[in-house]
Amino acid sequence: MHRRASRNSTITNCVGIDDGPFLSRRLSVDGLDATAVASRLLGSLQLRDSPILLAGATYAGFNIINPRVLQRRFRTPTVVVIGSRPNNRAVKRALVRHFPDWRRRWRILSSLGPLHHVRTVRNEGPIFYEAFGCDDDEARGILKEWAYVSRIPEPLRVAGLVARGLFPAQPLD
């Protein structure tokens, strides 16, 4: 959990989940356990209205975190953040080609709702997001408020840095 240092902040805590090696080691690659694993990890925290930021909806390959489930369980805004607009046709093609249960996975991904974008810092491109448990204005506010150093909100940026620092890439044999 990342704490905001500013006295002007309206949100004092925010949680970021990144698809780093730390999380990937707890998930089945291309499995369907990502929502349950994320829920267990988050359940150990006292969230109290702390927004949950997800670095995308797919982890460890095509293991999907369902943000609606997290939002309902923890009753806090949950925002899926991605750096660029996804190619949904290519995603669906990959699912159909590689997964017998592609319809189940596609149903979750295609139901995520409208994709919005926001420019969180001046001299960088926008990020794209889908929000659950909050309206578009609140989601934009959360993303802008938590972007200090780059367009990526700090809880996600730091989660990625920590994960890569703890588990550096292993050379291929």
Six-digit token string for 147: 């972007």
Rounded to two decimals, what is the model's pTM? Answer: 0.88
Give, to the nearest 10 degrees, the angle between helix 34-43 and helix 67-74: 30
Domain 2-166 = CATH 3.90.1150.10:
no
DSSP string, 106-163: HHHHHTS---EEE--STTS--EEEEEESS-HHHHHHHHHHT-SSSSS-HHHHHHHHHH
Residue type for position 1:
M
Per-residue pLDDT of the chain (173 residues; tens, 9 = 90+): 544 444 455 667 899 999 876 676 789 999 999 999 999 999 988 887 899 999 999 999 999 999 999 999 999 999 999 999 999 999 999 999 999 999 999 999 999 988 999 999 999 999 999 999 999 999 999 999 999 989 999 999 998 888 777 766 655 44
The whole-angstrom separation of Cα 163 and Cα 24 is 10
- What is the spatial distance between Cα 53 and Cα 153, in angstroms, rounded to a whole number? 8
The per-residue DSSP string of 17-53 comes to: E---HHHHTTS-TT-S-HHHHHHHHHHTS--TT--EE
Coil/strand/helix, residue 16: strand
